[in-house]
A and B are shown apart, each in its own frame.
Chain A
Amino acid sequence: MNRLEIHDILFKVEKPARYLGNELNSVHKEVDESTVRFAFCFPDIYEIGMSHLGLQILYKLLNKQENVYCERVFAPALDMEQEMKENNIPLFGLESRNPIKAFDFIGFTLQYELSYTNLLNMLELADVPLYSKDRTKQHPLIIVGGPCAYNPEPIADFVDIVILGEAEEVILEIINAYKKRKSEESFSRRDFLIEIATIQGVYIPCLYDVDYNEDDTIKGINPNTEGIPKRVTKRIIKNLDDAFYPEEFIVPYINTVHDRIVLEIFRGCARGCRFCQAGIIYRPVREKGFDRLKGLTEKLLENTGYEEISLASLSTSDYSKLDMLVRHLIDEYKGDRVGISLPSLRLDNITLQLIEEIQKIRKTGLTFAPEAGSQRLRDVINKGLTEEDLQSAVKKAFSLGWTSIKLYFMIGLPTEIYEDLEGIGQLAFKVLDAYYSTDKEKRGKAINITVSASTFVPKPFTPFQWEPQDSLEAIHQKQRFLVENIKNKKITFNYHDAKTSFLEAVFARGDRRLSRVLAQGLKAGCKFDGWMEHFDFDRWMQVFEECKIDPTFYANRRRDYDEVLPWDHIDVGVTKKYLIKENEKARSGEVTVDCRSSCSGCGVNKGIVGGIC
């Protein structure tokens, strides 16, 4: 297949390096008849997509397979999209510059709900029919995965295959099954989909029918074909030390959001914050061993030349060998000036000491996430961070010379009252006081505290999955209250756009009827909805109206425990019974302990792990 000619276009668009496809460690392969071609699509621009760890892992994993060629595709920026349309250039794989329409698989990773329209737009740019039912043997199979795929119902009509859970093993099983069938004269999409539907971690939406009640809630979700499981179960990698991890990362030419080595140290989270979807869907906690991480680091640094390594997980300070690992990295790579970053830290005195040592190499700001302003509300959401913890951590930080502190909060949490909001301001001022009470000799100059408030979005598979989101009016009022409450030159207050969070809430807990809304949204020109400069709320509301669908039905309605939820046929291991128990405990402000102190019986040990966590 010939490479598409894009050279002249590259002179016209912004950041043409997004479209080159030949970065360090990118893979270029010869293609023949038997090659299974896979387009790994990220439904956002290059800089965001290239910062995604899953892409780096699966790209290398797939390309390691014989006869499989995986290429990257990102949403072209609007100027590039325009040029491509004018020059009749369909969406192409960056590496080969071949149209992805001719590929075997088009895969999308779903990291946030507001990228759904980009997914559709990319299918359209690729010249592939949007709806699964309209595609034939000639078309690629559309496969999705990632956190939003746990409730894929809003995009169920567009996709063929959904991967539930960690993809490293199951994706190869799907491709191997496909390899066997690909050359068969009698290849039928439907037969192939039925064949793979029994693999654990595979969900085929078209093999299930949804019935509705008169009040628009769901009556039932059932397989429409014999031999198809009634519930589909997620897949996990049991031993992460044996799991594939790339020894080289693609190194972008241009600056991306996370332009560094990402070393994943464990999966899952033991804490059980009740608003957090990741904390449930990635259960149980599985760590990587020190030796494995040591070996990977050496290879990754050698193969990339990166000057920074980030230790990634949902809660980095919970890694049992964090101290040992960080000290090793400092000792071994200090000479090469390799910086270490520790995102998602819970800051206490021990971790601060560690950070202090890291700071000797590279300096960063400090981030705390109390999430709620009062102890009462923190108990409701099971965020085990007390005011004393925060106080002592910031005091220590100030005395070590830090001057930039970020505090993250959520507003609109279940049971929230204005006292909790007042607490946000009070906490910020207490942090400021802690700075002023620090010895002048020790503390740095120019204190800067940033308070960020995002809007709570109830997510599937969390104890809050039944909760209504606050109405837009209520959120706007709370935001105004906070603006008035946190007026201080040293404190910067930011809040997220509530309308975006509203739409996120609609699609997060949506059902199949929303596919129509998304298709209509695309027609109306909605894309890049996660970008403030492109997001058009009024246009969306018009789309909902045209489709005769009330978005508040999904976002702002309290659901009963016995209502059939759109994702009830999907099993993430944690039982509904457990989530109900947690929701009840939240209402009475009762906390649940960390999995490491004692198991609270979420169920993942029974269905998925088969033993104890």
Chain B
Amino acid sequence: MYKLRSRFSKNGDIIFISHLDVMRVFERALRRANIPISYTKGFNPHPIMAFATALGLGVSSDAEYIDIQLDEKIELYDFIKQLNNALPKGLTIIESSYISSKEESLMSVIKRSVYLVNFKLKDAVSKEDIINELNKFKNLEDIPLEKEKKKKGKRKEKTIQIVNIRPNIYGIEVFSLEERNAIIKMDLAAGSVANLKPEIVISKINEHTRLDIELDTIRIHRIKLFKEVNGSFVTPLEELKTL
């Protein structure tokens, strides 16, 4: 049994397929590429593979990760080449590495993600203005978000919970500004413990600052995904246990 960790990108039209669709696309591409994948046991066998996070519909990324289990070891070069040949345009394996079977699951180690968020402002602003406004936003101690929570055991009843999302924001900075078009870089909590979506942050910026954002122009691109090892943040392909 061999475990392979890979980074892949999702760009172009393919950003419009959901996480579940991506799983199916990988499953079928692996089959077409004749890669010796391992299957789950039982009545409904599935390839053994796991993703780091579920990327939202419409979000592009250069930092998606997947672990795939193989029955036979194949050359990394062949794996990447064969799989990329079988994957649809827009989904591309960038790098792969065999990892120890003791390596913790991707889902459990992911802590942070960096995004570029592109949007239009209703009115042109100066770079100074936007930096000031974002600083003001960052200086807020409490950024409340209403969250619907399902009551345990009861299917329809929901309660509203208010959470402070400020601790889940690690950084926000202006990446570029051209008249009304702005790109902001955000470093946010991601993963199973805490997870904050960039579009929520944008809507909060819209709410708490003087920036007037056209919300339906938001375009999100993930550039990095980090896990935490001994207090420092590295990509899932770094600081791996020895094989």
Q: Which residues of A contact B (CB under 8 A)?
A: 10-12, 16-17, 20, 22-24, 251, 253-255, 302-307, 336-337, 359, 361-363
Establish whether residues B58 and A307, one from each chain, have CB atoms under 8 Å apart when the complex forms.
no
Establish whether residues B25 and A16, one from each chain, have CB atoms under 8 Å apart when the complex forms.
no
Least CB distance, A86 to chain B, in whole angstroms: 13
- C-alpha gap A302/B29 in the complex (Å): 10
Least CB distance, A66 to chain B, in whole angstroms: 26
Establish whether residues A361 and B28, one from each chain, have CB atoms under 8 Å apart when the complex forms.
no
Residue of A253, A302, A304 ringed by the most chain B CB atoms within 10 A? A253
If the complex has contacts A10-B16, A11-B58, are A253 and B32 also in contact, measured as CB distance less than 8 A?
A: no
Give me 18 other A-B pairs in contact (C-beta within 8 A), A10-B16, A24-B28 excluded: A11-B219, A12-B216, A16-B16, A16-B57, A20-B16, A22-B13, A251-B28, A253-B21, A255-B24, A305-B29, A305-B31, A305-B86, A306-B28, A307-B27, A307-B31, A337-B39, A362-B43, A363-B43
Question: Chain A residues near B17 (CB, 8 Å)?
Answer: 17, 20, 253-254
Q: B242 at the A/B interface (Cβ < 8 Å)?
A: no
- C-alpha gap A361/B27 in the complex (Å): 17
A-B contact count (CB 8 A): 62
Q: B45 at the A/B interface (Cβ < 8 Å)?
A: yes
Establish whether residues A304 and B58, one from each chain, have CB atoms under 8 Å apart when the complex forms.
no
Question: Chain B residues near A16 (CB, 8 Å)?
Answer: 16, 57-58
B90-148 interface (Cβ within 8 A of A): none
- The one of A24, A254, A304, A363 in contact with B88, judged by C-beta atoms closer than 8 angstroms, is A24
Q: B230 at the A/B interface (Cβ < 8 Å)?
A: no
Establish whether residues B88 and A22, one from each chain, have CB atoms under 8 Å apart when the complex forms.
yes
Question: Chain A residues near B31 (CB, 8 Å)?
Answer: 305-307, 336
Least CB distance, B202 to chain A, in whole angstroms: 14
Least CB distance, A23 to chain B, in whole angstroms: 8
Interface size class of B (residues with CB under 8 A): 20 to 34
- C-alpha gap A20/B17 in the complex (Å): 9
Residue of B16, B28, B89 ringed by the most chain A CB atoms within 10 A? B16
Q: B159 at the A/B interface (Cβ < 8 Å)?
A: no
- C-alpha gap A363/B27 in the complex (Å): 19
If the complex has contacts A16-B16, A361-B45, are A307 and B88 also in contact, measured as CB distance less than 8 A?
A: no
A-B contact pairs, 10 of them (CB 8 A): A16-B57, A17-B18, A24-B28, A254-B17, A304-B28, A305-B28, A305-B29, A305-B31, A306-B28, A363-B44
Establish whether residues A337 and B45, one from each chain, have CB atoms under 8 Å apart when the complex forms.
yes
Question: Chain B residues near A337 (CB, 8 Å)?
Answer: 39, 45
Q: Interface SS of chain A: helix, strand, loop or mixed?
A: loop
Least CB distance, B6 to chain A, in whole angstroms: 18
Q: Which residues of B contact A (CB under 8 A)?
A: 13-14, 16-18, 20-21, 24-25, 27-32, 39, 43-45, 57-58, 86, 88-89, 216, 219
Query: B26: nearest residue on chain A (CB-CB)?
Result: A305
Establish whether residues A302 and B21, one from each chain, have CB atoms under 8 Å apart when the complex forms.
no
Question: Chain A residues near B20 (CB, 8 Å)?
Answer: 255
Question: Chain B residues near A253 (CB, 8 Å)?
Answer: 14, 17, 21, 24-25, 88
Query: A306: nearest residue on chain B (CB-CB)?
Result: B28
Query: B43: nearest residue on chain A (CB-CB)?
Result: A363
If the complex has contacts A17-B17, A362-B44, are A304 and B25 also in contact, measured as CB distance less than 8 A?
A: no
Query: B42: nearest residue on chain A (CB-CB)?
Result: A363
If the complex has contacts A305-B31, A305-B86, are A11 and B21 also in contact, measured as CB distance less than 8 A?
A: no
Query: B21: nearest residue on chain A (CB-CB)?
Result: A253
Least CB distance, B151 to chain A, in whole angstroms: 26
Question: Chain B residues near A251 (CB, 8 Å)?
Answer: 28
- C-alpha gap A176/B13 in the complex (Å): 35
Per CB-CB distance, the 7 closest pairs between chain A and chain B, nearest first, are A305-B28, A363-B43, A305-B32, A16-B16, A305-B31, A337-B45, A253-B17
Question: Chain B residues near A12 (CB, 8 Å)?
Answer: 216
Least CB distance, A49 to chain B, in whole angstroms: 17
Establish whether residues A17 and B21, one from each chain, have CB atoms under 8 Å apart when the complex forms.
yes
Establish whether residues B27 and A11, one from each chain, have CB atoms under 8 Å apart when the complex forms.
no
